[in-house]
Each structure stands twice: as C-alpha cells, then as structure tokens.
Amino acid sequence: PDVVDDVGATAVRPGGFVQTLGLRSYVSLPLMSAEGLVGTAVCGDVTRSRTWTPADRVLARRLALQGAVVVDNARLRELEQAHLRQLEHRAFHDQLTGLPNRAALLGALGDALDPVTGDGGVALLLIDLDGFKRVNDTLGHHSGDVLLQQVAVRLRELLPAGATGARLGGDELAVALAGPAADLAADLARAVHARLGEPYVIEGRTVRTGASVGIARAPRDATDTTGLLRAADEAMYRAKRAGDGPRTAR
C-alpha cells in the first residue's frame, strides 16, 4: 500500500485519482490477484493532511492482502457460475444444432400442461425430415450434419413467441406451443412444411428434402405429455404416407 501523509509534499500523477478527488492525504491499496494487479482502491481526507500511524500502515497491508483473497474468490465464483451455466446449457440443448433437446421439450410440455402453472391451450408439432437418410448415404454424414444445422436455422426463424423448438434426435424435430401460441399450430405447421421443403445448398451442391409434420393438441387429443407425443407421432406418420402436407391427430 502507498500511505501518504501530505499530498503537497509528494509527487502524484497529474489528473489521477488524488487530484480528481482533491485528496490532501490518502492510502492507496493495490487489488491483487493470483495473476497480478487488477485495480486499486484509494481512500483519504479532502480536508486536511494527516499523519498515518504505524497501526494504520499495518492495517493497510492487511486490507491489501484480504482484498487479494476477495478478488480471487470473486473470480473463482464467476468461473464456477459460468461453468454451471455451460453444463446446464449442454444438459438441455442439442450440441449439433443448438436447439433445445428432448429433455428441454418435455420440460416445456410438462410446464404447459400443468393445471397450476399452465397458460391455456397446448399444441405439439412433430417433424420428421423426408430424404435425410438419402443425404447421409450419398453425401456423407458431415453433409447430413450441415443439413440439420440449416434446418435448425430455418425452424428458429419461424417460431412465434411462446414456442419451443427442439431436436429430439436423428432427423426428428418438435415444436411445443403454449398459451395463445397454440392457436397458431396449423399455420405454423404449414409454414414449417413449406420452408423445410425448400432447397438447401451444402458444399456447393443443391440438396432437396421435405418435412412431414403431425399436429396434436391438449386437451383435445391428450391430457399428458406421453399421450400428446403419441398423438402427434401418429399424425406425423399419416402426413409422411400422404406426402402432401401436415396432418392433425385423430
């Protein structure tokens, strides 16, 4: 620590803290971390110069040491929190597309279907890419991964507020719609079917695929998550067989 009794008798940096604050005497405590100096804490008297006692100087050194511990602990907490956020993100997101994963979708459906926390109607779109296996077989798995990433970008662009888009695994995707957004299920399904059916460009090649979309609603088609997934799955397979657009659960 820098302990100064009389600023008038000491050289200080022009325009620095001491001059800016108008200090007559001051103590400057370096804030250290394991990596070096990270800052400085300055306190003092603006009314008069004073004589800092040996006890004051000992206290200043202790505070500087304790400040180093505080700084390092704060940085460790920040790193720990960042690591926890990263783990949580990985737990609920698909690593390839960045979309929420199955666990996140099931959580969103569970919340929406909860009679206490739910917000009105619930709809589920189940989406299966048509021709994805052909892309993998002819162009390779890397091209299949790129296709999934492009599909995820298009799906995000279509999602309204209150919707959760997810990758369930492989080439299967889903969208959960809660509250007022559930009323948009049919329109969204048609938009998804059209948009995901447009050509893709992968490494200079034009790739064409399609999307089969099944729609299920709660409480009309099911009252729980398992039933809603089953109903949407049945509708999606009927859409795949028909090949002409989305289908609604019977």
Structure tokens at 89: 């993100």
Q: Which of 127, 186, 238 is nearest to 250 (CA)?
A: 238
Q: Active-site residue among 128, 171, 221, 233?
A: 171
Which class for 52: exposed (0-12), middle (13-18), buried (19 or more C-beta within 10 A)?
middle
How far is it, in rounded angstroms, from Cα 177 to Cα 7?
67
How far is it, in rounded angstroms, from Cα 144 to Cα 127?
16
SS3 161: coil
SS3 95: coil
Assess whether 114 carries a catalytic annotation: no
Terminal-to-terminal C-alpha distance of the chain: 77
The residues carrying an active-site annotation are 171
